[in-house]
């Protein structure tokens, strides 16, 4: 099924890396995190024995959240009035 359905769909979408069904578990976990779900709920939905497995191995921070976090920490792109001391 992977070689007949998933790989051709990935190729058509312009994805050059090898794609398997397991990648959807990573995507699912990341989407659960992005939509603000509780960590324990995510663990149970993913059916992991430990929260650490869910958060360290499967959940990836989205680019939008990374940019927001980074912009909050930036010191040199702010005007003097915006700087927090």
**Euclidean distance between CA atoms 81 and 78, whole angstroms:** 8
- At residue 79, the pLDDT reads 56
Q: Tens-digit pLDDT profile for the chain (85 aa)?
A: 778 888 899 999 999 988 888 889 999 999 999 998 999 999 999 999 999 999 999 998 888 888 888 888 876 665 555 555 4
**Euclidean distance between CA atoms 30 and 85, whole angstroms:** 34
Query: Which residues 6+ apart lie within 8 Å of 7 measured at CB?
Result: 18, 19
Is 48 within a domain?
yes
Place of tokens 């699912």: 28
- At residue 84, the pLDDT reads 53
Structure tokens, 80: 């003097």
Is 10 within a domain?
yes
Split into its structural domains, the chain has a count of 1
Is 75 within a domain?
no
- At residue 18, the pLDDT reads 85
Which residues span the domain enclosing 52? 2-60
């Amino acid at each position: 099924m992977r070689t007949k359905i998933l790989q051709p769909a990935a190729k058509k979408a312009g994805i050059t890396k090898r794609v398997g069904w397991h990648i959807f578990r990573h995507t699912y976990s990341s989407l659960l995190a992005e939509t603000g779900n509780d960590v324990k709920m995510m663990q149970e939905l993913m059916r992991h024995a430990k929260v650490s497995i869910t958060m360290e191995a499967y959940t990836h921070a989205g680019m939008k959240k990374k940019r927001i976090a980074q912009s909050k920490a930036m010191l040199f792109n702010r005007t003097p009035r915006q700087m927090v001391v």
